[in-house]
Amino acid sequence: MRPRCVASWALLACVVGLMACGKGSAPALSDPDPGLADLTLLDVGPRTITPGTPITLSGRGFPSAGDGTISLRLRGSIKAPSGGTSKFDVRLRAVRKSATSAQVAADGDFFAALGGFDGTIDAQAVLMVDSAIDLTTHVVEPLRVNLEVARVLAPRLDSVELAAAMASSSAKDRVHPNDWVIVRGDNLLLDPSEGQTTAVLDGCFLPEGQTGTCVATGTLVRGVEVLVRPVSPLDRRVGIFPWSPVIHGIRPGRFVGTVGLKNQQRSVRGPARSDPRVLSVAQVPPELVSLSPNAAGLGQYIELLGAGFIGGSTRFVPDPSASPAGPPTSTGAASPGQVTILRLRGQFTLDGSPIVLPVELDVVVEWLPRFPSGPVGRYVLDETDAMGQALAPRGGLRQVSGTFSGSASLALRYGKESVPSKSTNLTLRLLRPKQLVLLTFLPSYQESLRLFGLRAIDRAVRARVLDVARRDYSGLAVEFREVEPEHAPPEDFAHYAEVEIGGSDPNGLGYLGYDNTPGRDLGNARLYDRIGGVNAVTQSDGSPGYGGVFSEQLLGFSAHPGRVEKIKIPAQDAELFDSIFDPLRPDQGGEVAALAEVAGIPALSNGSICPALANDRARVIACAVLVLGNLIGTTMTHELGHSLGLANPSSKSGSYHNNGQVMGRIMNPGGLRSFRERAELAGSGPAVFCDSDFAYLQKILPDRDESPGRPQRQRPPCLD
């Protein structure tokens, strides 16, 4: 569904105003932004809207904030419950969530346009984008939608099911603490902006081994509420809640009673309730099956697979193997005074040593709600926990590797109650640390690509940056991942570094990149540095506060850098830069790369054919992608080297760059890193970590790939 383009009157008036003021002719408009070429609206939901509902737009090609603003136009009619029909036409600002999703608030403007809070909508939904690039409004073909609006949503409960029983017939009516309970019906509240739906439980719990009637010897349950979460962010018919310890504790036994649903909307004073349903369940002790992964290092999460985990978390996490179930929300199930303990009993064998250490450890575990696979327990290998402290005399989790073998079990504690699990035999391999690095390409980076004529080839440039990063840090335990600017934390690492790739230097100093982490991190003690944003600690000593890689500043290598400060390089190097990019740069009369050209561009691993012949369009673009990816990538690997403690890691007061005049070293100062070396053109580059710098990196982040025969790269000396 291709977008249509219409003039944006506000922008057009601005252009006309410039012409009238004698500022010269209006600037030529570029071709429509290639980032909008796939703009499509596929669905609008949920089907029932109430005050506060985030109306979700699903589609493709939704632009980032730097590319344009998104809005939804709804025009059609609404039929009131009384039978009257009225027409409406409203345009509402949308907030981008991802390339495939945006949200519009069902606020006062929305209901004012409808003329009421109840009725049936028959309308056309039109997705509109006011582009900041070509000064036009892009409009997709209308989508027919039928929606209901209701001021009050009264919940309906049709059935109650145990998720564990659905997954295994042997579970029947058994439930562990915090197992999922599934409720089916209608009119569940989907988002805190609407209000909240809770499950209300009444009945009696008789602990295992108790005799007599439940009323006489059991625990009465009266009006206990647990927050219900929708399984899908657009479906009001199915929800889940955990069988929380707040209902009747953690002891094994049987609950007999009822469960109902209650809606408390933000816009309605009193609650609405469903009819209750009878429920009888037997609570059983926790179970531990295995650990995943069974090999990990400092800063990594280890998940405990089994059932019955409590305490330590209220954050819902969708199952990584399933489609996301919406934004993380509180389950309302965790409360003070509850904890899960992992007990390890066995021995630890040190790698390369005959020493065997006895192990008797208790580790606090975080409960991690996850659906549909079921809740898990999780803990992070950390120097401050019981395992880290036990290994501290041997060098701790940074220096020690080896294998634990023995038994593991769980112990739940809730107030004065304590319930153990059966033990299971397992092994856990402890590895030396790995440095996870998350790369974020900011909207300002995308803006800078327009100056190079490469906005349409964004993905290819990013791929080359990642190739360079992985090459420069090969042979080390460093992993690079690309993430969106508003990304959720990774599920497998608690400690990770972040590097932001942006546009211009926000410090105003014309830097290509800057490590704004606080001080020299000798030994990579932090593991969680962020090269990007603003760092007040760094600013406090008078240093520039903003960090990252600034791709727009790379235009400074050109003989005609435009608005970017010129970098002093030999004239022939500036000519080489311009021979690569001028055929594509719009400010030099070049033809920008088009989205339709992506498929025909070869992926280059070196610059032997660059610059390409002017009539070989595909190679012209391929060379520009290669060179820009090399320039950004090598700048990033240099700045990351700083955050890891380079250069001169043996001296806290030593230079932050390699001393001397030897070329081809990643941690050289800028004056020794020529354009040709950075771009890897004309037989120059790529630079590498010099001998002692790389030896330091190997010491703190030794490669986990122990396969023999890996080729060794030749490295220049760090000392002249």
**CA atoms of 320 and 324, how far apart (whole Å):** 8
Closest CA to 6 of 142, 130, 137, 140: 137
My answer on whether 315 and 421 are in the same domain is: yes
Judge whether 645 lies within some domain.
yes
Predicted confidence at residue 234, as pLDDT, reads 94
Is the sign of the CA dihedral 111, 113, 115, 121 positive or negative? negative
Query: Which residues span the domain enclosing 335?
Result: 287-431
pTM to 2 decimal places: 0.84
* Closest C-alpha among 544, 543, 568, 547 to residue 557: 568
Q: What is the pLDDT of residue 620?
A: 97
The answer on pLDDT for 9 being more than 60 is no
pLDDT for residue 16 is more than 80: no
pLDDT for 32 beyond 70: no
pLDDT of residue 186: 97
Give the pLDDT of residue 167. Answer: 60
Q: Which of 656, 647, 630, 657 is nearest to 549 (CA)?
A: 630
Q: Is residue 63 part of a domain?
A: yes
Among 106, 142, 110, which Cα is nearest to 124's? 142
Query: Domain check: are 451 and 519 in the same one?
Result: yes
* Res 716: pLDDT: 93
Same domain, 167 and 145: no
Does any domain span residue 395?
A: yes
Cα 30 from Cα 605, distance rounded (Å): 31
Q: How far apart are CA 263 and CA 155, in angstroms?
A: 6
Number of compact structural domains in the chain: 4
pLDDT above 50: residue 333: no
**Final residue before a domain boundary, out of 99, 128, 149:** 149
Joined together, the tokens standing for residue 671 give 């004056």
Q: What is the pLDDT of residue 417?
A: 94
pLDDT average, residue stretch 414-437: 95
Angstrom distances, CA of residue 523 to CA of 22, 209, 262, 526, 701: 61, 56, 54, 9, 9
Q: Express each pLDDT in 510-527 by its tens digit.
A: 889 888 888 778 888 888
* Residue 7: pLDDT band with limits 50, 70, 90: very low
d(CA 51, CA 404): 55
Whole-angstrom Cα distance, residue 577 to residue 682? 12
pLDDT the model gives residue 131: 82
CB-based burial, 73-101: b 16+ in 10 Å, e otherwise: bbebebebeeeeeeebebebebebbeeeb
Residue 261 lies in a domain: yes
Q: What is the pLDDT of residue 541?
A: 60
Taking 50 as the threshold, does the pLDDT of residue 331 lie above it?
no
Instruction: Output the 3-class SS for 190-257.
Output: CCCCCEEEEEEEEEEEEECCCCCCHHHHCEEEEEEEEEEEECCCCCCCEEEEECCHHHHCCCCEEEEE
Predicted pLDDT at 10: 35
Residue 353 has pLDDT above 70, yes or no: yes
Mean pLDDT computed over 275-300: 95
Pair of tokens at residue 662: 């030897």
Distance CA(608)–CA(137), nearest Å, equals 43
Q: Which residue has the higher pLDDT, 131 or 464?
A: 464
Per-residue pLDDT for 220 more than 60? yes
| The predicted structure's pLDDT at residue 484 | 87
Q: Does residue 185 register a pLDDT over 80?
A: yes
Give the pLDDT confidence of 354-399 residue by residue, as tens digits.
989 999 999 999 998 888 877 889 999 998 888 888 889 988 899 9
Which pLDDT band holds residue 542 (cuts at 50, 70, 90)?
Answer: low
377 forms beta bridges with 304, 367
Q: Are residues 177 and 262 in the same domain?
A: yes
- Among the candidates 120, 149, 178, a domain finishes at 149
168 pLDDT higher than 80: no
Q: Cβ(182)–Cβ(160) under 8 Å?
A: yes
295, containing H or E segment: strand 295-297
14: three-class secondary structure by DSSP: helix
What is the β-pairing status of strands 424-431 and 295-297?
A: parallel
**Structural domain contains residue 221:** yes
Minimum mean pLDDT range among 100-109, 299-308, 504-513, 583-592: 504-513
**Last residue of a domain, which of 98, 132, 149?**
149
Q: Are residues 183 and 38 in the same domain?
A: no
Q: Which residue has the tokens 């390339």?
A: 99
Cβ 451 vs Cβ 318: under 8 Å: no
* Average predicted confidence (pLDDT) for the chain: 87
The pLDDT of residue 345 = 96
- What is the CATH number for 83? 2.60.40.10
In a domain, 717, yes or no: no
> Residue 402: left (phi > 0), alpha (psi -120 to 50), or beta?
left
Tell me the C-alpha to C-alpha distance, in Å, between residue 577 and each of 258, 360, 371, 633.
74, 62, 52, 16
* Judgement on whether residues 392 and 460 belong to the same structural domain of the protein: no
pLDDT at 706: 59
Whether residues 234 and 294 fall in one domain: no
Q: Based on the domain organization, do 427 and 484 belong to the same domain?
A: no
Query: How many whole angstroms separate alpha carbon 568 and alpha carbon 274?
Result: 74
What's the Cα-to-Cα distance from 99 to each of 40, 130, 191, 466, rounded to whole Å?
Answer: 10, 16, 21, 21
Q: What share of the chain is helix, strand, coil (3-state, %, to 5)?
A: 20, 35, 45
Q: What is the 3-state secondary structure (H, E, C) of 531-576?
A: ECEECHHHHCCCCCCEEEEEHHHHHHHCCCCCCCCCCCCCHHHHHH
**Are 134 and 90 contained in the same domain?**
yes
In-domain check, residue 707? no
Same domain, 161 and 138: no
User: What is d(CA 424, CA 427) in angstroms, rounded to the nearest whole number?
Assistant: 10
Phi, then psi, of 697 in degrees rounded to 5: -60, -40
Residue 704's Cα: distance from chain center in Å?
Answer: 25
Note the pLDDT of residue 332. Answer: 37
Give per-residue pLDDT as tens, 581-626: 999 999 999 999 988 888 889 999 999 999 999 999 999 999 999 9
In the block, tokens 């300002």 appear at 444
Give yes or no: residues 238 and 168 share one domain: yes
Q: What mean pLDDT comes out for the span 434-444?
A: 94
Q: Pick the more confident residue, 13 or 49.
A: 49
DSSP-based three-state secondary structure for 715 = coil
Better pLDDT: 205 or 386 = 205
Q: How far apart are CA 644 and CA 53, in angstroms?
A: 46
Average pLDDT value for residue range 163-173:
70
Judge whether 581 lies within some domain: yes
Tell me the pLDDT tens digit for each residue of 60-69: 888 877 678 9
CATH number at residue 277: 2.60.40
pLDDT of residue 537: 57
More confident residue, 572 or 312: 572
Q: What is the pLDDT of residue 507?
A: 85
Helices 458-472 and 443-452 meet at what angle, rounded to 10? 110
pLDDT at 253 over 80: yes
Give residue 8's pLDDT band: very low, low, confident or very high (50, 70, 90). Answer: very low
Taking CA atoms, 332 is separated from 267, 312, 326, 442, in Å, by 21, 12, 16, 34
Q: State whether 385 and 484 are in the same domain.
A: no
pLDDT (0 to 100) of residue 166 = 63
Q: Taking Cα atoms as reference points, which of 222, 293, 292, 288 lies closest to residue 255? A: 222
